Every structure is written in structure tokens, then in C-alpha cells.
Amino acid sequence: MTETQHFWRWSEKTYQAPDLDWRAASSITVGVDVGSVSSQAVILADGKLLAFNSTRTGSSSPDSALRAFRGAAEPIGLTLDDISYAVGTGYGRVNVPFADRTITEIACHARGANHMGGPSIRTILDMGGQDCKVIRIDERGKVLNFIMNDKCAAGTGRGMEVIADVLSVPIEDIGRRSFEIDEEPAAVSNVCTVFAKSEATSLLRAGWSVNKVLAAYCAAMAQRVAGLIERMQVEREFFITGGIGKNIGVTRRIERLIGVEAIKLPADSVLDPQIAGALGASLFAHSLYRKAQKEAAAAGGTAPGNGGTPGGAAEPAGEGAGVAG
Amino acid sequence: MIVAGIDVGAKNVHAVLIQDGVVLAKAAVVSGFDQEESAERGLQEAARVAGIDRSAIQAIAATGAGRKALAIAGQQPTEVLADGRGAAKLRPGARTVIDVGADEARAIRLSPEGKVLDFAINEKCAAGAGAFVEAMSRALDMSLGDFATSSLGSTQSIPMNAQCTVFAESEVVSLIHANTPAADIARAVHDAMASRVSAMVRRIGVDDPVVLGGGAALNVGFVKSLSEALGGVNVEVLPDAEYLGALGAALIAWESAS
């Protein structure tokens, strides 16, 4: 019997820094982003990237948070007990059992994008599994404003997964294949993912190649997202985070539509646009831990370890940007 | 003289034959990819039911999403016009007509004489159409009929957060994992769909009598939820509700032929 192929299944990713000995570090801070579709954990040793993991979110948020953490930590022998401070973010952030506090994913993506793309980043497009956000930030990564669509699958990763399955194309090949066409077709007319599914099937029957249908679908998704971006107006520099950020079929078409090119990670970077939220959370965890340590030192006490009071630390940059998701 | 009205929808083709002003036969077939071929199959089936030869059909009016593709149709009334005409015949005096099909929903306001005064359409989002309930019953692994009836046995109202059909599917799966009774899930789904349809109906105003046609009219769970969402108005389900558009088209064909 052959196993059913799940075309939507994107590869889970794990990374451990080859030359960093966490046992010598004075702090281990963790950011966990439990999204509606994927969960990530990023671990920092003294503020430097030690490890990360990206995995699919299961039916239980606490399990998904733990799975993401273990995926990053276990290969280097790190356990929950070694964590100095942890921040949970994302749609399931209140369900990260080992988090010392939670911060909205808007603030975390802002901080993560600021770290990945540099201080010149002003506009972030975060294309997640079940929502899409445009975030305006300042040079320190603080959120100034944001808008989001979380009502409709068109323009989200979940919508792309549905199309991958309908067309039997592995999701990670969609971007490349959508450019292997003779001529750019018109975007599919149906915005709704459910209707786009039937439209895609009709186009195939009408003789379109799979690649051409992919192009038409990526173009429709790009149009929709570009509409959201234009409501906010793009201020340079522009950076894309989230899983769909890795799909060039969508991102390049967005760039064409809005006339602005996104800043890309260097080719040799170990980072991944999908971990931006967890990375931001880990950076917040690091700052909060250091701040708590300084305060404790000033008060003559000891630094709080794991289990410190959530919300006990000072407000991080970007807080007050609103609760999303 | 025999004329035909044919409604080429996203999911089904409905055909109604009228002889001398009276309904002679009706038939439904599943829409295929080729709309011309699907319409022809619908006509053949209606002719077979009527016991006549297909060539005895002298005039054809086509409505529905696929109406423009039909060269055989002498007339191509819009869905709004056909629905209005059909409803005025089935329920004289009807003022608000709601038609919820597989991929589309419409609300039409009629004058006391049955003239179309205003209308609203949702064809952009599956969450306000029959496709929504169909997807959810699949997620629950229930037949559409069982899904519809089970909703009536619900003891608690659970709000659905997701508006989108794709997201609602995951929400239904979470409700199943949380051991929510199927009846309550079914009701939540019908309530969600009814809230979207009622929002569309309110755009044109709700005048009594309110009548309901289209495939979703056969879903008792949805009808109950819709009535509640419209503030408790009586929603009258039209007889042969799913033939509403085809009947209206047939009447239009008959009127212009005679």
C-alpha cells in the first residue's frame, strides 16, 4: 500500500549553532511562537542564536509549544530546567506552559524583523498560516501601527495548503513552478479559497497546465495581500516574515504590484522568515531577563529563574500595539 | 406548447417543463464541467420524466451561473429575475425572497405585484452559501440530511469564531476533539451561515412574507437558524424550493412564447 502524499506538508526545520557552548552561557532565553498552523521555538545563549525549531501546530497548544522547544533543545542536551526566561507569543501564546510572560505576535514579529532585516525596516508583511498582517515599525523595532486580515483564508498559508492539495503540488515547489510558464495568466477570479478550488479544477479541465493555474492562484493571493499593504502604505524598507514569505510565487508578485522590493536575508543566513515571531519573543525574553537581573542586583536580591512572575517585568517595546489573533 | 426553464447552477442543473402554463415535469442532474452538455442532460431528463421527446420543447429560457454559455436558450434571464418570477408564482404576495444555493446566495425584495424592487448577492465567499454547510458535514463525517436534522436536537448555542469556511473546518475539528455533541456543532454551523445570510437580507430590508428557495431551503436546521437570525420572522420554505430559478425561467419562457 502506498502512503497518501500530503502535498501541503512543508518541511519542519531545526538548527543548532555549531560553535556555541550553551553550558558556558550565563543566560538561556527562549521565545516560542504557537501559531495556528506552525509553531517555532528560538533559543538564545547570552543573546546569541543557539538553536531554533519550526514544527506543525497540533491540536494542543501546550504540546505544540513543548514539541517546538524540544526540537530545538534536545539535540544539544538542553532541557526546560536550563531556561532563564521564556516568552510565549502567537495565537496560542497563553498556552505555552513554560513561558514567564506572553507578548503579542505583532510586537514579536516587529522585533524579529528588525533583528533580521536591520534598523532600516519600516514596513513588515507577516504572512502566517491563518492571518496576514501589515505592521509599521520604527528604527528600534517598535510597533507604530498595524492592520490584519484574519477572517478569510484567501491570502494565508492555509489557503495555499488547500491549493497544494487540490493540484497535487508539494507546497514548497509552488513558487518556483508558478514562474515556469510561457506567459503570466490573469489571476483566478475567485477570492474565496473554497471557490478557487473549483475554479482551479475547471481551468485544468479547460487545458491549462498545472503551473499556469499555480501562477493564476499566486497572482490572486498577491493581489489580495497587496490590497492590504496599500491600505497601510509601504514605507521603505520592506520585509516579509511568516511561512508564505518563503513562497516566491507570491512574494515576487507582491513586489511587482506594490513596486517595492523586499529586503532579503543574505543567502548564507541560517535564519528563516518563518521564525521571526519566535526570534522576536526570544529577544524580548533576553532583554526582560537582563532587566530583571539588574533590578534584582540593585535591590540586593537574586535574579528570578524559571517561573518568575509573568508580567512582572517592564513593558517591552511594542507593547500596547493591540492584541491580535 | 411546451417550454423549458433551466437553471445551470454551480452544483446542479434544474429543469422545469411547462405545458400550456402548467408545470409538466421537473428534473435535476449534477452539473458537469461542460455547461452546455449539463444543460442538455437536464433537458433530456425532464423530457424523459414528462414522457415526451426532447424535440417537443419549443422554447428554452436559461438562468443560473452558467446561463450565458447556453446557445440553445432563447432567453437568459438573470437569477434575480427568475427567482422573483418563480417566488411570485409559488407564493403570491411574497415580499422577500431568499435563495441560498451551493456557491451563491441572493435576497430579492418584491413589490406586492411581484416586481423586483431590490436585490443583494453574495457570490464571493463560501461561508454564506450551501458549500459551507456541506464542508462542515463532511468534517463531521455526517450526511447532509443527518447534519441538518441533528441541529434541531441541540441543547446549547456555541458561537463559531471562524467566519471563513476553510478556518471553520479546523474549528469544527477542535470542537469534535473537545467532545462537543454533534447536534451543538451542527447548530453552531447553521447559526454561523444564517448570520451571514441574514446580514445580506437586511441590506435590502425584511418584509413579510419571507420565502426561502434554493437547495439550502431543504435543510431544516438552517431554516430554523435563519428564522432566528432574522429576529424570529416566519421563513416559509417554498414547495420544490430547489427548482425556484428553473420554474421562474420556465414561466418567463412561457410568457414570451404565448
The CATH number for A18's domain is 3.30.420.40
- pLDDT tens for residues A159-184? 999 999 999 999 999 999 999 999 99
**Residue B256: Cβ within 10 Å count:** 13
Q: In what order do the strands lie in the sheet with B57-63?
A: B22-30, B12-19, B2-8, B57-63
Task: State the SS3 of A118-135.
Answer: CCCCCEEEEECCCCEEEE
Query: What letter does residue B235 receive in the DSSP assignment?
Result: E
Whether B166 contacts chain A with CB within 8 A = yes
Residue A160, exposed/middle/buried by CB under 10 A (0-12, 13-18, 19+)?
buried
List the grid coordinates of A161.
Answer: 495548503
A-B contacts at Cβ under 8 angstroms: 45
| Yes or no, beta carbons of A195 and B165 under 8 Å apart | no
The pLDDT value recorded for residue A4 is 64
Is A134 found in the same domain as A34?
no
Is A159 found in the same domain as A99?
no
| Yes or no, beta carbons of B125 and A192 under 8 Å apart | yes
Quote the Cα angle for B32-A195-A133, to 5°: 165
Is A157 found in the same domain as A103?
no
**Chain A residues in contact with B177 (beta carbon < 8 A):** 59
- Domain span at A198: 119-263
Whether B199 contacts chain A with CB within 8 A = no
The pLDDT value recorded for residue A63 is 93
**Chain B residues in contact with A152 (beta carbon < 8 A):** 125, 163-164
Reply yes or no on whether the pLDDT at A322 is more than 70.
no
In whole angstroms, give the CA distance from residue B230 to residue B98: 12
Is A18 found in the same domain as A91?
yes
**Out of A59, A152, A190, whose CB is closest to B164?**
A152
- Shortest Cα distance from B162 to chain A (angstroms)? 7
Is A287 found in the same domain as A258?
no
| Yes or no, beta carbons of B125 and A59 under 8 Å apart | no
Is A286 found in the same domain as A238?
no
> What is the pLDDT of chain A when averaged over all its residues?
89
In a domain, A251, yes or no: yes
Whether B164 contacts chain A with CB within 8 A = yes
| Yes or no, beta carbons of B163 and A151 under 8 Å apart | yes
| Residue of A198, A133, A193 lying closest to A158 (CA atoms) | A193
Count of domains forming chain A: 2
User: DSSP assignment of A228-271, as one string?
Assistant: HHHHH---SSEEEESGGGG-HHHHHHHHHHHT-PEE---TT---
Residue A58: closest C-alpha in chain B: B174
Reply yes or no on whether the pLDDT at A313 is more than 50.
no
- pLDDT tens for residues A220-231? 999 999 999 999
Is A123 found in the same domain as A252?
yes
Mean pLDDT of A80-87: 97
In a domain, A178, yes or no: yes
The pLDDT value recorded for residue A318 is 39
Is A138 found in the same domain as A28?
no
> Cα dihedral sign for B242, B244, B250, B254?
positive
Residue A59: closest C-alpha in chain B: B174
The pLDDT value recorded for residue B244 is 97
In a domain, A28, yes or no: yes
Phi first, then psi: give them for residue B180, nearest 5 degrees: -70, 135
Residue B173: closest C-alpha in chain A: A59
In a domain, A320, yes or no: no
| Yes or no, beta carbons of B164 and A198 under 8 Å apart | no
Predicted TM-score (pTM) of the model is: 0.80
**Residue B174: Cβ within 10 Å count:** 12
List, in order of start, the domains of chain B with CATH numbers: 1-91+242-258 (3.30.420.40), 93-237 (3.30.420.40)
Query: What letter does residue A161 receive in the DSSP assignment?
Result: H
**Residue B224: Cβ within 10 Å count:** 19
The rounded Cα B91 to chain-centroid distance in angstroms is 16
Is A142 found in the same domain as A59?
no
Reported as a pLDDT band with limits 50, 70 and 90, residue A304 is low
Is A169 found in the same domain as A288?
no
Is A257 found in the same domain as A125?
yes
Query: What letter does residue A272 receive in the DSSP assignment?
Result: -
Q: Which residues of chain B have pLDDT under 50?
A: none
| Yes or no, beta carbons of A202 and B33 under 8 Å apart | yes
Is A279 found in the same domain as A251?
no
Residue A205, exposed/middle/buried by CB under 10 A (0-12, 13-18, 19+)?
exposed
Whether B121 contacts chain A with CB within 8 A = no
Write the CB contacts of B223 (distance below 8 Å, at least 6 apart in sequence): B212, B217, B235, B237
| Yes or no, beta carbons of A191 and B124 under 8 Å apart | yes
| Yes or no, beta carbons of B164 and A151 under 8 Å apart | yes
Reported as a pLDDT band with limits 50, 70 and 90, residue A280 is very high
Residue B135: closest C-alpha in chain A: A194
Reply yes or no on whether the pLDDT at A306 is more than 50.
no
The pLDDT value recorded for residue A323 is 33
Residue A195: closest C-alpha in chain B: B126
